[in-house]
Amino acid sequence: MKRFLLAPSILSADFARLGEDTAKVLAAGGDVVHFDVMDNHYVPNLTMGPMVLKALRDYGITAPIDVHLMIKPVDSLIPQFAKAGASYITFHPEASEHIDRSLQLIKEHGCKAGLVFNPATPLSYLDYVMDKLDVILLMSVNPGFGGQSFIPGTLDKLREARKRIDESGYDIRLEVDGGVKVDNIAEIAAAGADMFVAGSAIFGQPDYKQVIDAMRNELEK
Ligand code: DX5
Ligand code: ZN
């Protein structure tokens, strides 16, 4: 498996041509499709559901799809996203009544499971569930919108999460989401991240490959 995974967030893609734009970003070198689900309840925005994910699979998208649930309640949509073709499903622990149960539900449906931490959500939610995690996602902006600036305090939190992962001995990805750009990705990797979500930085440019190559160059320095 690749040491670093780049996960373009299709929140910033052209929704009128979502299949085509998703295929284009993967052909340009994206590893994983980051799929942001917002419900206008847990976050003040509304995006896509399982039908859209299934439509991407039917269109021919075979890359892993990383479903980031910004919804409350969490559990009711997990089976639908799994059946629609999700590869990873992550959720915010404060949005779930029973974190352990939600993680188990994701696993039972054959997907990789993860917890997402808002900038002010403590990592103590990890204490009793490390054995059930495939990914830990740290938000480096407040969730709800693309195009926001990276919150610098996330770097210390990444170092803390990296330490917890290494000490646990489990094989867990450390993903970061929000404000990731060519000019900060190296610093974010140095703090311990190995999976990078980027929306506006990629889709905001005409040449996706140029941005993705530039990000990889920064990571390989
Ligand atoms: C925000 C979403 C992000 C968003 C990131 O709530 O979770 O995935 O698309 O967008 P950028 O990369 O533009 O900050
Ligand atoms: Zn996201």
What CATH number should be reported for the domain holding residue 61? Answer: 3.20.20.70
Per-residue pLDDT of the chain (221 residues; tens, 9 = 90+): 789 999 999 999 999 999 999 999 999 999 999 999 999 999 999 999 999 999 999 999 999 999 999 999 999 999 999 999 999 999 999 999 999 999 999 999 999 999 999 999 999 999 999 999 999 999 999 999 999 999 999 999 999 999 999 999 999 999 999 999 999 999 999 999 999 999 999 999 999 999 999 999 999 98
How many domains does the chain fold into? 1
Q: How far is the CA of 7 from the centre of ligand 1 (A)?
A: 11
d(C-alpha 53, C-alpha 55), whole Å:
5
DSSP string, 89-144: EEE-GGG-S-HHHHHHHHHHTT-EEEEEE-TTS-GGGGTTTGGG-SEEEEESS-TT
Which domain range does residue 56 map to? 5-220
**144 CA: nearest ligand 1 atom:** 6
Mutate which of 70, 149, 197 for ligand 1 pocket (most atoms within 8 A of beta carbon) = 197
Contact 197, 7 (CB under 8 A): yes
- pTM, two decimal places: 0.98
